[in-house]
A and B are shown apart, each in its own frame.
Chain A
Amino acid sequence: MSHRPEPRSTRRLALTISILSLAVFLANASGCGSGENTPAPAVKSDSESGAKAKTAGTAGESKAATEEEEEAAAKPFVLGDLLEPFTPPSLEDVDRTAEWIDRPVLSGAEILRKKQQDKGPPTVTAEQALKLKNDYPKNKENNDIILNSVGRLAPADGAGVDFDATFVRHVSGDLKSTNPIMISSITEFEYQSLAGFGYLGFDQELNYFGSKDSIVSWQMSKDHLIDKIVLRDDLTWSDGRPITAHDVKFTFQVIMSEAVSPPAVRQGIDQLKWVEAYDDRTIVFFHKAALATNTTNIGIPVLPKHIYEKTIAADPTLARSAEHSRLEDHPVVGGAYELVRRERNQEHVVRRRESYYMHNGKQVRPKPNLNEVRVKVIEDVNTALVALRAGQIEQVELRPEQWVSRTNDDEFYARNTKVTALEWTSFHFDWNCGTPYFSDKRVRHAMSWAFDYDELLNTICRGLYEQSRGNFHPTSWAFPKAGPTPFRQDLNKAEDLLDAAGWKDSDGDGIRDKRIDGRLVPFEFTMLTYQSETGIQTATLMKECLSKIGIICNVKPTEFTVLTDSQQKHKFDAAMGGWGAGTDPDSNSNLYMTNEGRNYGQYSNAQIDELFLQGRREFDRAKRAEIYGQIHNILWDDQPYTWLFCRNSFYAFNNKLRGYNFCPTGPYNFDPGIFGLFKPSASR
């Protein structure tokens, strides 16, 4: 046998390959790359006349000549091109016609401190409270005692606070971006609460106010269409330049530029018609319509204009260019803490900056308690708990199983304590009203009657949660005065309702069925659920309950992406879901209004649609409460969801920490949030 390969075959092969490669290069020539960074003239921000600014349109065309096809990424950056052209009136005109109403400008820490003082002195000292064992839910008192005493904020003058303390936190997802308008997950949100400049906050009861640390005054026009904010004059970026109203306006325009793609912040801000900076300190927000939800829309994260106006045209994605990458790791911040270290997928560290609370040598703001906050990324919750027990990290969000089983022993309490607080996150089964199974209200009621809530709450949820009483939480102002009573399992009622709806076992195989369009359809459906333990267990319990009354439910734990995709396309029978609470009850409108984006179950009720629209336009709190109460009761009657339970937050903290408090969306979202935490100085 010859050892030399046939020369002809090799040549033939080489020819084939070369032709193929040529084809590929041709395809490349006709296709379009993502484009190199071409230098472009700096973007001119719009003139005071408000005309839409255009960059030199040549910026796009000056790209590599091989690319003929236009791709969206190669589109020239135009600042604020999503805005309708608008000429803002002069400041005198605005002041003359507005009939200003003052809005509150407060300090979150002061509000909370006063609230705590009004409660009276704590029943035990913090040291004594830390020795208690928190055996919630068996005994709810210890939890309250601990929160009441350990959660006391430090006095306003900072007495007893160790200002050099470091706080080591835990998060399970890495910080993806330090850019304020690229917030996309909880970790970024928490980072921005430390390092970002903000002027709007809300307290424990979710009431909004202007932050005294940032603004001087906040006024709203009588017709609710205009808001005016006057910033303080002692605000500085971490590079020394002052924070001005122009930064706010610039950021607004950046967010409303088509070439920029902020993951989350555009929503709500696009309800603003215009934002105008009349001088260095005065900002006026013009709203498109007079709605009660306008307040939340004026909270815009702020970028330093003097930095980004030079760099954004070259790279509207704010992430790809070399300069933007450098800024990612060395950002210019306006908040109290600046980034000093960032190791991806491991940790990031922020340190208090003096230029936040000192101005021209004088202290102008309360000094933040903690010197440094180290945020460690540990994806595995068990590992995080082991690290907490050993004292290596000082705060962990606990899973329910961990609350019940791994945080009760002496070794845990030697260094740590744990607390729980109400959260308005609720879970439910979502019935797709577009399927033949769940289009009938009686069937949905039957589902709610069939479920074994006792087993769910006592066994799966270990007694840690409360049963849900509908869409709004009983502690929310939107909850109706005569609210519904929660369901209890009643299989007989469920079976009667199913019989009434026409689902009977006509062919004697033990499974209910119904004749639809001439075909005998058995009652067998698929329930999609999260891949979390609680989700799977709850859905399995539902399967068990339904099999007792002749319905087959197939539980399918689904990847999050597929779950979301199926729900958005309405391609599911039933799904288990959960929602966190928004600060305004109107945020639920996209869940229940006909054809709204998050109305996955295709529920439709004209009355609900009308009521939500009314609620938006009503400004009186009492009247709004009535409207939302009505909504709540109608929803309960329709049962588009089977509401299950409301979840608590569970946190474990190191014994050295004080000053943590909770609001219905967690411990760090509200004002003061993380700024309330401190470590007492040794002498105390």
Chain B
Amino acid sequence: MLPAPDTIETTRPIDQSPGFWRDAWRHFRRRKLSMIALCYVVFLCLVALFAPLIAGTKPIVCKYKGQIYFPFMGYYLRTWENPVFFQDRFRGEYPKPLAEKDPESWAIWPLVYQDPYRRIRENEWPGRAGNPVSIEGKPSSLNWLGTNQQGFDVFAQMVHGTQIALSVGFMSMGIAAAIGICFGALAGYFGGWIDTILSRVIELVMCIPTLVLILALVALLNKVSNYHLMVIVGITGWTGIARLTRAEFLKLKQMEFVTAARAMGAGWPRIMFRHVLRNALAPVLVPITFGIADAILIESGLSYLGFGASPPNPSWGTLLHSGRSAIEEMWWLILFPGLAIFFTVLAYNLIGEGLQEATDPRLRQAAH
């Protein structure tokens, strides 16, 4: 028997469902470790963005001959550094020429006066010694994390290299995941001759040696950047993800919810990407998160073998490999980049774990 209308308590209006991603974010927020990892990654992003302000040899803002300039922009793009400094023969150094050519000039300097692309010479900054080289480049008050064999400051290199460290992983894995998931999903879901053709394509790409592709590309370009390399790594590295996705789809397409969705009239893209994919992501997430971190190590391996980006390339991986020939004496070249890589690997994997648990409704239950 229904209660009489006026005895129904006024209920709270039903909250609109926050939506899948909002909900996931709420759950993600609750995991402490994942949040710490996320904060770390955000911190790295800030460091990458403001690298020239943290470590650099170009003033952040300076007044020269009555005009205000922002020379530090030259670190982002060469043309953003005003040509007046070239015409007045500054020769790329600021401290002494600024004072000499215009006694009324002033400048605000970055936090650390060091450059990732060259060695600071004697008296470049009045009264300061030049960077030591080789095994004398221990961490010191001038070079917080030491210098490499050629005398380039490690701290400056790590700061400027953060941008590379962050983006290479996302770029290569982004491409790999996009291609791999698409191919794998299509192959697994449709089966039949589509599966046959796509599987052959996957096998073809798997068997072509990556090194050959990298060499062919490097031979063509005049200036190799990390991004070129990572696009190649992405284009050749999607096969594992494709196979994993395909296997999951082969299994999942028999499930009842797929039949139900089809009965409701959903088209195949909708079924594939909205319904099946979410359930198929679990095994794929691990290669992706490891792959993002792995990209840094791949980049360092490539630069060691000689196919890296055009020097000077201030990346963590290059630093790591430059320490190879003096591993006992120049421990700082291994320790600091190694720690940074370790924390980044850890962070990405914690975020991945958190993402998995936040997006999978089943995982929100306790396991026991």
Mask: chain B, 247-261; 1 = CB below 8 Å from A; 0 = not: 000000000000000
Partner of B306, one of A405, A495, A531: A531
Q: Which residues of A contact B91 (CB under 8 A)?
A: 491, 548-549
| Stretch touching chain A among B216-224, B264-272, B284-292, B348-356 | B216-224
Q: Which residues of A contact B81 (CB under 8 A)?
A: 510
* With A505-B83, A509-B83 as contacts: A562 and B222 at CB distance below 8 Å: no
CB distance from B341 to the nearest CB of A (A): 21
Mask: chain A, 311-341; 1 = CB below 8 Å from B; 0 = not: 0000000000000000000000000000000
Partner of B133, one of A382, A402, A459: A459
Interface of chain B residues 132 through 191 with chain A (CB within 8 A): 133-135, 149-151
Q: Which residues of B contact A141 (CB under 8 A)?
A: none
**Are A405 and B324 neighbours in the complex by a CB distance under 8 Å?**
no
* With A508-B83, A549-B91, A554-B223 as contacts: A406 and B329 at CB distance below 8 Å: yes
Q: Which residues of B contact A406 (CB under 8 A)?
A: 326, 328-329
**Are A554 and B150 neighbours in the complex by a CB distance under 8 Å?**
no
CA distance A387 to B325 in the complex (A): 15
Interface flag for A235 (CB, 8 Å): no
* With A459-B119, A459-B151, A548-B92 as contacts: A554 and B83 at CB distance below 8 Å: no
Interface flag for A234 (CB, 8 Å): no
Interface flag for A526 (CB, 8 Å): yes
Q: Which residues of B contact A399 (CB under 8 A)?
A: 325
Interface of chain A residues 395 through 450 with chain B (CB within 8 A): 399, 401-402, 404-406
Interface flag for B26 (CB, 8 Å): no
**Best-buried of B218, B223, B224, B311 by chain A (most CB within 10 Å):** B311
**Are B325 and A382 neighbours in the complex by a CB distance under 8 Å?**
yes
**Are B325 and A559 neighbours in the complex by a CB distance under 8 Å?**
no
**Are B150 and A460 neighbours in the complex by a CB distance under 8 Å?**
yes
Interface flag for A130 (CB, 8 Å): no
Interface flag for B118 (CB, 8 Å): yes
Interface flag for B89 (CB, 8 Å): yes
| Stretch touching chain B among A187-195, A210-218, A535-543 | A535-543
Interface flag for A544 (CB, 8 Å): yes
**Are B87 and A556 neighbours in the complex by a CB distance under 8 Å?**
no
Q: Which residues of A contact B133 (CB under 8 A)?
A: 459, 462
CB-based nearest A residue for B308: A557
**Are B149 and A401 neighbours in the complex by a CB distance under 8 Å?**
yes
Interface of chain A residues 523 through 551 with chain B (CB within 8 A): 526, 531, 533, 536-537, 539-540, 543-544, 547-550
Interface flag for B117 (CB, 8 Å): yes
**Are B325 and A544 neighbours in the complex by a CB distance under 8 Å?**
no
Interface flag for A555 (CB, 8 Å): yes
**Are B117 and A544 neighbours in the complex by a CB distance under 8 Å?**
yes
**Are A550 and B329 neighbours in the complex by a CB distance under 8 Å?**
no
CA distance A555 to B118 in the complex (A): 14
Q: What does DSSP make chain B's interface, helix, strand, loop or mixed? A: loop
**Are B311 and A555 neighbours in the complex by a CB distance under 8 Å?**
yes
**Are A556 and B325 neighbours in the complex by a CB distance under 8 Å?**
no
CA distance A404 to B135 in the complex (A): 9
CA distance A552 to B310 in the complex (A): 13
* Size category, B interface: 35 or more
**Are B149 and A539 neighbours in the complex by a CB distance under 8 Å?**
no
CB-based nearest A residue for B74: A510
Q: Which residues of B contact A544 (CB under 8 A)?
A: 92, 117-118
CB distance from B306 to the nearest CB of A (A): 3
CB-based nearest B residue for A552: B78
CA distance A543 to B312 in the complex (A): 9
Interface flag for A455 (CB, 8 Å): yes
Interface flag for B86 (CB, 8 Å): yes
Interface of chain B residues 80 through 138 with chain A (CB within 8 A): 81, 83, 85-87, 89, 91-92, 117-119, 121, 133-135
**Best-buried of A405, A491, A505, A549 by chain B (most CB within 10 Å):** A405
Mask: chain A, 363-387; 1 = CB below 8 Å from B; 0 = not: 0000000000000000001100000
Interface flag for B14 (CB, 8 Å): no
Interface of chain B residues 312 through 337 with chain A (CB within 8 A): 312, 322, 324-330
Q: Which residues of B contact A462 (CB under 8 A)?
A: 133-134
Interface flag for B79 (CB, 8 Å): yes
**Are A536 and B311 neighbours in the complex by a CB distance under 8 Å?**
yes
Interface flag for B215 (CB, 8 Å): yes
Q: Which residues of A contact B324 (CB under 8 A)?
A: 382
Q: Which residues of B contact A556 (CB under 8 A)?
A: 222-224, 310
Mask: chain A, 548-573; 1 = CB below 8 Å from B; 0 = not: 11101011111100100000000000
CA distance A550 to B215 in the complex (A): 31
CA distance A511 to B83 in the complex (A): 8
CB distance from A207 to the nearest CB of B (A): 38
**Are B117 and A555 neighbours in the complex by a CB distance under 8 Å?**
no
Q: Which residues of A contact B86 (CB under 8 A)?
A: 505, 510, 550
Interface of chain A residues 629 through 680 with chain B (CB within 8 A): none
**Are B135 and A405 neighbours in the complex by a CB distance under 8 Å?**
yes
CB distance from B300 to the nearest CB of A (A): 15
Q: Which residues of A contact B312 (CB under 8 A)?
A: 540, 543, 555
**Are B151 and A539 neighbours in the complex by a CB distance under 8 Å?**
no
CA distance A668 to B307 in the complex (A): 33
CB-based nearest B residue for A536: B311
CA distance A467 to B215 in the complex (A): 34
**Are B134 and A405 neighbours in the complex by a CB distance under 8 Å?**
yes
CA distance A404 to B137 in the complex (A): 13
Q: Which residues of B contact A543 (CB under 8 A)?
A: 311-312
**Are B92 and A459 neighbours in the complex by a CB distance under 8 Å?**
no
**Are B326 and A401 neighbours in the complex by a CB distance under 8 Å?**
yes
**Are A555 and B87 neighbours in the complex by a CB distance under 8 Å?**
no
Q: Which residues of B contact A526 (CB under 8 A)?
A: 222-223
CA distance A526 to B135 in the complex (A): 31
Q: Which residues of A contact B328 (CB under 8 A)?
A: 406
Q: Which residues of B contact A460 (CB under 8 A)?
A: 150
Q: Which residues of B contact A548 (CB under 8 A)?
A: 91-92
CB-based nearest B residue for A548: B91
CA distance A404 to B150 in the complex (A): 13
Q: Which residues of A contact B149 (CB under 8 A)?
A: 401, 533, 537
Q: Which residues of A contact B329 (CB under 8 A)?
A: 405-406
Q: Which residues of A contact B306 (CB under 8 A)?
A: 531, 557, 559
CB distance from A451 to the nearest CB of B (A): 14
Q: Which residues of A contact B327 (CB under 8 A)?
A: 382
CB-based nearest A residue for B322: A533
Q: Which residues of B contact A455 (CB under 8 A)?
A: 119, 121
**Are B134 and A540 neighbours in the complex by a CB distance under 8 Å?**
no
CA distance A544 to B93 in the complex (A): 11
CA distance A557 to B307 in the complex (A): 7
Q: Which residues of B contact A555 (CB under 8 A)?
A: 310-312
CB-based nearest A residue for B115: A544
Q: Which residues of A contact B218 (CB under 8 A)?
A: 558-559
CA distance A562 to B307 in the complex (A): 12
Q: Which residues of A contact B121 (CB under 8 A)?
A: 455
Q: Which residues of A contact B305 (CB under 8 A)?
A: 531
**Best-buried of A459, A511, A537, A559 by chain B (most CB within 10 Å):** A459
CB distance from B68 to the nearest CB of A (A): 18
CA distance A279 to B171 in the complex (A): 75
CB-based nearest B residue for A537: B150
Extra inter-chain contacts (4) besides given A382-B325, A556-B223, CB under 8 Å = A459-B119, A505-B87, A510-B78, A556-B310
What residues make up the interface of A, taking CB atoms closer than 8 Å to B?
Answer: 381-382, 399, 401-402, 404-406, 455, 459-460, 462, 491, 495, 505, 508-511, 526, 531, 533, 536-537, 539-540, 543-544, 547-550, 552, 554-559, 562
What residues make up the interface of B, taking CB atoms closer than 8 Å to A?
Answer: 78-79, 81, 83, 85-87, 89, 91-92, 117-119, 121, 133-135, 149-151, 215, 218-219, 222-224, 305-308, 310-312, 322, 324-330
Nearest 3 CB-CB pairings of A with B: A531-B306, A510-B83, A510-B86
List, sorted by A's number, 25 A–B pairs whose CB atoms are closer than 8 Å. A381-B325, A401-B149, A401-B326, A402-B325, A455-B121, A459-B133, A462-B134, A491-B91, A505-B86, A508-B87, A509-B79, A531-B306, A533-B322, A537-B149, A547-B92, A548-B92, A549-B91, A552-B78, A555-B310, A555-B311, A555-B312, A556-B222, A556-B310, A559-B215, A559-B306
